[in-house]
Chains A and B, each alone.
Chain A
Amino acid sequence: EAAVTQSPRNKVAVTGGKVTLSCNQTNNHNNMYWYRQDTGHGLRLIHYSYGAGSTEKGDIPDGYKASRPSQENFSLILELATPSQTSVYFCASGEGQGVSGNTLYFGEGSRLIVV
């Protein structure tokens, strides 16, 4: 069964509204990540976390917040959604210690449309 699950899988939000994308992992990995995928840009890192209670900014954090309340859960929060945040969002988990190389395991993606 899937080890990284995202919800919702599809979401239509209104401009200015709040959106929360949730991610749950059963890999027992310390690290979790949120990426967005847009045509021509590949996967871009928004926020990541080293463990419960920690969040770090990635390459494109503006307009997004993250929350890691537990080892298993990592949320991405759009406080005031804008049409430019229309995208497909991927959550991933990965080992982060020593020479693991941090191979990532991805969720199925969440398609967000902001109108």
Chain B
Amino acid sequence: AQKVTQTQTSISVMEKTTVTMDCVYETQDSSYFLFWYKQTASGEIVFLIRQDSYKKENATVGHYSLNFQKPKSSIGLIITATQIEDSAVYFCAMREGAYQGGRALIFGTGTTVSVSP
């Protein structure tokens, strides 16, 4: 069975610094997709970035990047040059199966990031 674990419940950082948060996953599939989502204070949940298991390069979108360590079943999220508006809850998620449509995402419990000026 698939499982996603985020052990860091909260992280506090100063503005303009870098924050790294961890995520470890379990899966029996050889092919899978990994995602990070952000939930803002208003409750809105938005997709940030994704990593396909067959890709060796770490995904990067804007000031978000991933640290994909496949042998460790780990997918860390890195936010550089943090801004106040990066304060949010960040969820890691996984979907098994590359070519089977419709599989649901399984989410971790989330990491709360607080960015201070």
User: How many B residues touch the partner, as a band?
Assistant: 20 to 34
Q: Which of the 9-residue segments B12-20, B46-54, B63-71, B76-84 touches chain A?
A: B46-54
Q: How far is the CA of A40 from the CA of B95 in the complex (A)?
A: 21
Q: Which residues of chain B are near A48, meaning CB under 8 Å?
A: 102, 104
Given A101-B33, A106-B45, verify A45-B104 contact (CB < 8 Å): yes
Whether the pair A103, B47 counts as a contact (CB closer than 8 A) is yes
Please report A residues at the B interface, Cβ cutoff 8 Å: 30-31, 33, 35, 40-45, 48, 50, 58-59, 88, 90, 92, 94, 96-106, 108-109
Closest 8 CB pairs of A and B: A96-B101, A96-B102, A42-B109, A101-B33, A106-B45, A43-B107, A97-B101, A50-B102
Whether the pair A104, B98 counts as a contact (CB closer than 8 A) is no
Q: Which residues of chain A are near B109, meaning CB under 8 Å?
A: 40-42
Whether the pair A108, B99 counts as a contact (CB closer than 8 A) is no
